Copies of this chain bind each other. A is one copy, B any other.
Amino acid sequence: METTTAVTQLSAIAQEARLEIFRLLVQAGAEGLPAGSIGEQLKIPASTLSFHLKELTHAGLTSSRQVSRFIYYTANYEAMNTLLAYLTQNCCAGQAVCCPDLNCHPETENNP
């Protein structure tokens, strides 16, 4: 992965509103959410939201598809995976303290 790509993607999520948008889309799963629904839930005006969605999509972290009058946005898991792998390899570089318990599957946590 190019450093430039990493910087672009990090910039995309290095912003309160966009990080929240991305988290919401991750929760939404493969079906994603229409722009309007995102704006409603996060209380973001349409034009501002559109700007942020463009940033995320430009960075390759989200995708969109049209469904009738709605445009559904989805999180691009592969891209996030690649970014995390880049950070782990380049910014932890085998330092054990940096990698041990990433706790990938928290949904299994509260099952006694």
Contacts and interface: CB of A to CB of B under 8 A. Distances in A.
A50 to B, nearest CB: 21
A46 interface: no
A84 interface: yes
21 contacts: A3-B19, A7-B14, A7-B19, A10-B10, A10-B19, A14-B14, A26-B92, A27-B93, A75-B91, A78-B98, A81-B92, A81-B98, A84-B102, A85-B103, A88-B103, A88-B104, A92-B104, A93-B107, A94-B108, A96-B105, A102-B102
A79 B20 CA distance: 21
Given A19-B91, A77-B95, A94-B107, 5 more contacts: A7-B15, A78-B97, A85-B101, A88-B103, A93-B106
A35 interface: no
Number of copies: 2
B13 A10 contact: yes
A84 B81 contact: no
